[in-house]
Amino acid sequence: MIRVFIAVELSSEIRENLAVLQQQLKKTLPAINWVRPESIHLTLKFLGYVEPSRISELLSALEPIGTKHQTFSLDIQGMGVFPHIKHPRILWVGVNEQTPVLQELVLEIEAELEPLGFPVEEKSYHPHLTVARIKRENAIVGSALIERGALESAQPLGILTIDRFILFQSDLDSSGATYTRLGTVQLSGNIQ
- CA-to-CA dists, residue 123 to 74, 126, 127, angstroms: 21, 9, 12
Tell me, yes or no, whether 23 lies in a domain. Answer: yes
Express each pLDDT in 174-190 by its tens digit.
Answer: 777 899 999 999 998 54
For residues 171 and 169, give the distance between their C-alpha atoms in angstroms, rounded to a whole number: 7
CATH of the domain at 70: 3.90.1140.10
pLDDT score, position 181: 97
pLDDT score, position 52: 97
For residues 62 and 67, give the distance between their C-alpha atoms in angstroms, rounded to a whole number: 10
pLDDT score, position 190: 43
Express each pLDDT in 17-58 by its tens digit.
Answer: 999 999 999 998 888 999 999 999 999 999 999 999 999 999
Domain limits at 166?
Answer: 2-186
Tell me, yes or no, whether 192 lies in a domain. Answer: no
pTM, whole model, 2 decimals? 0.92
Tell me, yes or no, whether 39 lies in a domain. Answer: yes
Tell me, yes or no, whether 156 lies in a domain. Answer: yes
Tell me, yes or no, whether 191 lies in a domain. Answer: no
Strand partners for 176: 173
Tell me, yes or no, whether 58 lies in a domain. Answer: yes
Burial tier of 172 (Cβ tally within 10 Å: 0-12, 13-18, 19+): exposed
Express each pLDDT in 123-145 by its tens digit.
Answer: 989 999 999 999 988 899 999 99
Q: How many domains does the chain have?
A: 1
